[in-house]
A and B are shown apart, each in its own frame.
Chain A
Amino acid sequence: MSSSAKADAALALHRFGMGPRPGSIEKIVSDPRGALLAELDNPPPYPAAAATLPSSAKAFRTVADANARRQAKATLATRAEAEAKKQQMAAAGTAMTEGPATAMSETASKAAAEAVPDPGRPIYLEEAKLRTEAALAADIGFTERLVWFWSNHFCISADKIRSMSGAYEREAIRPHVLGSFADLLLAAENHPAMLFYLDNLGSMGANSIAGINRSRGLNENLARETLELHTLGVRAGYTQDDVIAFANVLTGWTLVPPGDNPEHGGEFSFNPRLHEPGAQKILGKSYEQEGVEQGRAVLRDLAAHPATATHLATRLATHFIADTPPPALVERMAKTFLDSSGDLKEVAKTMVSAPESWSEPPGKLKRPGEWVVSIVRAAGITQVDAKRYTGGQALLGEPLWRPPSPKGFPDDEGSWIDGMGRRLDIANNFAERIAGRADPEDIVENVLCGCVSAELRQAIGRAESRQQALALLFMSTEFQRR
């Protein structure tokens, strides 16, 4: 293996994959580009254990059921307490001065919370474990990186809807990252988790049946963020009137209430009673369709819009290649997007085939999630404690499926570089835990195939302990930048 071939292989793994594991550089060194393209044609399957996880609707019902049972338990206990108090007072001859207890007793609520724990947390942790181990198990992990990218692009937040957060990614994102963007867009926007996250469940047209009867109306959130973040991009020329018209189009996109329907509660449903009747005009085009078809038609047009192509190409190239990606690369990717009617596999292929994707020096700072998974892979670890792992991600400022806003986690160096101190503490802690079984020199020679600076070799050689050497290695620019 020549050193430049090894460097290309290492770059392929860091830039497009989850980072090198023991043996992975040798595996792809003869043709790193070909290996990436091959993975796209034959992506590794998601772990079979996913089949045992609940669907988003089932998870949502499970949590709703637990909440209802907890509430019932607390109510019963509160009533019992009040009854006991009444008898006590009657026995003491004092008259009841207060009305019947309506507020929930604190002790009763506490006891109920203990008796019926929230099932949302174990579901979240199971999902997190599976996702992390898929990233650790992948040979290269390009497809997983694409899942991470699109999941962040179409983010929801577990802070608002935890039960569905993992299932959302499996159901709406994962099946489409190498498929058509129009399918991905529809799958994301009509997913109950997204409708819940961006406040669309109760949005109703002013002239809809429900709108007239209940004098309630529109919520613009989903329409605005779909235009601004998911498709065209901000300042792409749409107006406030377009946002309102699109919000009208999306009225009725809601879910089956979980309490009403033990089989389908929590699934997507189109409720015609909420839907604003009539045609809507968006970006100069009139949409005459009835019902849910109207929204689907708008999404199809948005997916094919040239502004969407440029916006998505920019975001992809910014994430994978550089904070300021080469304009020629972005143009080429946007062109592929338009020429292929939004075929995301073709766009990914264009990206890895472009010369700029290889000539751009490895200057992009990894986000915390990428960095963590790359140091764990380098150590040869394939299984994780989900609680610890997600805790570490939260400390690093990138808690899993909990972005600070619908824009998702940022991708630029300026947002993350000041977190180096925290990364060092995490690296140090991780190094401490694995120092008994991981050898830093071995990682340098056999995982990175010697592709490190002389300064790093020297720092490792002079370290006071194996733990310190590992911490320095994990913090090195070789692991931080790609």
Chain B
Amino acid sequence: MSVGHSISRRAALIGSGALFAWTQLPRLARAEGRDPRMLVIVLRGALDGLGAVAPVGDPDWIGLRGERALVLDGKTPALPLDSFFALNPAMPNLHRLYRAQQATLVHATATPYRERSHFDGQDVLESGLVKPGGADSGWLNRALLALETEGRVNPVGSRAFGVGAVTPLIVRGKAPVMSWVPQKLLPASDDTAARLLDLYQHTDPKLAVALEGRMKLASLGTSAVEDTMADANPLVVPPGTRLRAYFAEAAGTAARYLAKAEGPRVGALGFVGWDTHINEGAAAGQLYNLLSALDGAIAAVETNMGEAWRETVVTVITEFGRTARINGTLGTDHGTGTVALLAGGALKGGRVIADWPGLKTEQLYEGRDLKPTTDLRAVLKGLLRDHLRVEERELAGSIFPDSAGVAPIAGLVG
């Protein structure tokens, strides 16, 4: 097999999936002079919510995590949010946004999934269904369809497009998905692509749809992204600075597309590596490095969005949390309640939303995990309704079926 260029780390790693949904803005929003953007970042592997946003005001916190508990007067002090919560010290950008009312943190949240399989958990997180298994579309894709059927989006321009070879479930569905991978590989000519499309149209309609998505994207004519890491060895897991560069590059690229006047308005990308079973290192180490990279990614989105940042919401979600206590190998095992991080100029931020369940053993879910008290779908529904202006009745219908009892959280944006 032959590839004429060395493979960039980013291209290799981004296979884990950065995706953008490509749609014109809702007409209603346009009429109001709005042009909202939404970027969803999925943290695969289950983020330790207590390691990201620590309940430093809870009297049981230090007893729970001992010397591994993030505290305000630690060696690397946690960043105070309010009288009760503090942010992991790896996230100064998010802290700055929080103080500027451009970040909202939702704690003790979870999807309706209550088991501990990553793959089922991600299935529920991304499908928007109550149970895992059998889903062939994601809630973000269906949200686009809901906009379309109401005639609020130009159907011709309604496309989802993907970065990476494996499409995450969250954007799979009837709204077509385009795929794009940062590359220096010489692309096939438009003529070859057109001929192949013609062949597919006669022999394989599904492949025709997939190829068509790629061709429409190419015609958008974005300039190639500078491939700064072309010579990097793609096989080494990037620690520290390289991890930061990779996260920032992936999210920053997404933002460049979202910022364009004719670009996509909704997107999703995934970051792997959050399954911290061993030596979690919340204050210094693995989780610290990951959160630092995530913080840089949020900053890159802010920078590359430019003016559009004030109409942007970045939503960071994960399949479930981790055990409240540290496990036998200084890490944490699969748990339940966790945090969702929201950042963006469109938010009415500067607060932690939490119905705090407490950390005493009898207050923990099954005696081991942070108990979820806020349904994550309430957050997502609130954003879809008030930010993207998705029809309210679709929220508990096609987008998050069987969620009539979960009211959207009002006032997240404003």
A residues sitting closer than 8 Å to B (CB atoms) are 121, 124, 158-160, 162, 199, 202-204, 206, 211, 216-221, 224, 228-229, 234-235, 240, 243, 368, 372, 375-376, 384-385, 388-389, 391-399, 402, 404-407, 409-410, 413-422, 424-430, 432-434, 453, 455-456, 459, 462-464, 468, 471-472, 475-477, 480-481
- B196, A472: Cβ atoms closer than 8 Å: yes
Report Cα–Cα, A224/B334, bound state, in Å: 10
- A159, B192: Cβ atoms closer than 8 Å: no
B residues sitting closer than 8 Å to A (CB atoms) are 1-4, 6-7, 11-12, 15-16, 44-45, 115-120, 132-133, 136, 162, 164-167, 169, 172, 177-181, 183, 185-189, 191-193, 195-196, 198-200, 202-204, 206-207, 210-211, 213-215, 217-218, 233-235, 237, 272, 275, 277-278, 327-331, 333-334, 366
Partner of A426, one of B1, B115, B334: B1
- B166, A392: Cβ atoms closer than 8 Å: no
- B188, A414: Cβ atoms closer than 8 Å: no
Q: How far is the CB of A160 from chain B (nearest CB, A)?
A: 7
Q: Given A240-B116, A391-B3, A480-B207, are A471 and B188 neighbors across the interface (CB < 8 Å)? A: yes
Q: Which residues of A sit under 8 angstroms from B136, Cβ to Cβ?
A: 414
- B1, A392: Cβ atoms closer than 8 Å: yes
Report Cα–Cα, A224/B46, bound state, in Å: 15
Q: Given A425-B185, A428-B188, A471-B188, are A220 and B333 neighbors across the interface (CB < 8 Å)? A: yes
Q: Which residues of A sit under 8 angstroms from B215, Cβ to Cβ?
A: 421
Q: Which residues of B sit under 8 angstroms from A432, Cβ to Cβ?
A: 4
Nearest B-chain residue to A460, judged by Cβ = B199
Q: List 20 A-B contacts (CB under 8 A).
A: A121-B233, A202-B329, A219-B327, A219-B329, A368-B165, A395-B11, A410-B166, A418-B167, A419-B167, A420-B207, A421-B213, A421-B214, A424-B196, A424-B211, A429-B186, A432-B4, A434-B2, A455-B203, A468-B191, A468-B195
Report Cα–Cα, A35/B86, bound state, in Å: 66
Q: Which residues of A sit under 8 angstroms from B233, Cβ to Cβ?
A: 121
Instruction: Please provide the 3 A-B residue pairs with the shortest distance between their CB atoms, ordered closest to farther.
Output: A397-B165, A217-B328, A421-B214
Partner of B15, one of A389, A399, A405: A399
Partner of B118, one of A220, A405, A464: A405
- A404, B7: Cβ atoms closer than 8 Å: no
Q: How far is the CB of A267 from chain B (nearest CB, A)?
A: 21
Q: How far is the CB of B257 from chain A (nearest CB, A)?
A: 16
- B328, A206: Cβ atoms closer than 8 Å: yes
Partner of A388, one of B1, B166, B214: B1
Partner of B210, one of A243, A372, A405, A417: A417
Nearest B-chain residue to A368, judged by Cβ = B165
Q: Which residues of A sit under 8 angstroms from B277, Cβ to Cβ?
A: 199, 219-221
Q: How far is the CB of B395 from chain A (nearest CB, A)?
A: 24
- B207, A477: Cβ atoms closer than 8 Å: yes
- B2, A392: Cβ atoms closer than 8 Å: yes
Q: Given A420-B210, A472-B195, are A453 and B203 neighbors across the interface (CB < 8 Å)? A: yes
Partner of A211, one of B195, B198, B272, B328: B328
- B187, A425: Cβ atoms closer than 8 Å: yes
Partner of B192, one of A396, A419, A471: A471
Nearest A-chain residue to B173, judged by Cβ = A414
